[in-house]
Amino acid sequence: MAEYTFVLNPEAGKGAGRKAGILMEKLLPGFGRPYELVRTERPGHATEIARDSASSFVVAVGGDGTLNEVANALVGSQKTIGIIPAGSGNDFIRSMGIPRSIPDALEFLKAGRGRVIDAGRVQTGKEINGSTQDAPERYFVNGVGIGFDASVARRVSEIKHLRGTMLYLLAVLQTLGRYKSPEFHGTTDDRAWTSRELLVAAGNGRCAGGGFYLTPEAKVDDGLLDLCIIDDVSIPRILRLIPTVLGAKKVQDDHVTYLRTKSLTLRSSDSFNVHADGEIVGREVNSVKVEIVPSALCVIGGAR
């Protein structure tokens, strides 16, 4: 029986997944452990493969979206997740100390240092004919973006030939002129507020969007979500903020608020988008609930 199941998404990273597959086929014969390499064939297939696998280690080979699918199968299980980065952003590896190169990540994986980490759970709702229709709950590993962040993620999925930070910067610039900030009614563990916000990011990991450190002090095992709330500001102000969130520190700005909480609820009569780990989980919705799920997964990683 295979000790490791490698779940490879050939569509990850706008071509990076296919290249990763070719490289993995060359490297894995020297891996030294029983393994199987399985390619996904459709959205959601990684979840099915991970759920059906009898291996002790299930390795997501792709981006944060591939990891998200694998994690949704394994929350609460005894299996350990590994990560080989081959996506557009690969943000979660920055919180776990996983090398970016595939050969180095494979060696890191073989060392096999497991960490028990938190996951998150998100559910969106849409107002239809006066009643709210809730979507199914979904787990996430790195973070949830609400508002502008998620509209950028939608645009990222439409841009075909870029990867990494440049891809996300282009998507930001293309989204700016047509985005309208919703007025949110928000609730966390210890406060409630109503205001118009550009975005609300809930992070289990430190960064999202290919290197934007919206929650730079988030810890994957503290039982809390880190929130970054950015007010509805002008386009010139947004452009001045962008370079600051590329650094791995909190932004010192009156229009940026940081909070820690176990749960978050947002509602708005204005529709908005929601992403989880870079994948859109709510299109033109009116509510979202986010909460932390402590000690939900075991992942091979090193950074603390």
Q: Is residue 301 part of a domain?
A: no
* Residue 299 placed within a domain: no
| Owning domain of residue 252 | 119-294
* One-character DSSP codes across 111-147: H--EEEEEEEEEEEEEEETTEEEEPPPEEESSEEEEE
Domain identity same for 128 and 275: yes
**pLDDT tens sequence for the chain (304 residues):** 899 999 999 998 878 899 999 999 999 999 999 999 999 999 999 999 999 999 999 999 999 999 999 999 999 999 999 999 998 889 999 999 999 999 999 999 998 789 999 999 999 999 988 788 999 999 999 999 999 989 988 887 777 676 667 787 888 888 888 899 999 999 999 999 999 999 999 999 999 987 889 999 999 999 999 999 999 998 889 888 888 887 888 999 999 999 999 999 999 999 999 999 989 999 999 999 999 999 999 999 976 5
Largest interatomic CA distance in the chain? 59
> Is the Cβ–Cβ distance between 108 and 98 less than 8 Å?
yes
Indicate which CATH number applies to the domain containing 213. 2.60.200.40
Listed in sequence order, the DSSP H helices in the chain are: 16-27, 45-52, 64-74, 93-96, 102-111, 148-156, 164-176, 235-245
Residues 97 and 125 in one domain: no
Q: Are 36 and 5 in contact (CB under 8 A)?
A: yes
What is the model's pLDDT at position 109? 95
Let me know: does 259 contact 113? Beta carbons within 8 Å: no
Res 154: pLDDT: 84
- Are 74 and 170 in the same domain? no
Q: For residue 83, what is the domain's CATH number?
A: 3.40.50.10330
User: For the chain, what is the domain count?
Assistant: 2
Q: Is residue 38 part of a domain?
A: yes
pLDDT for position 303 = 61
Confidence at residue 164, expressed as pLDDT on a 0 to 100 scale: 67
**Shared-domain flag, residues 163 and 255:** yes
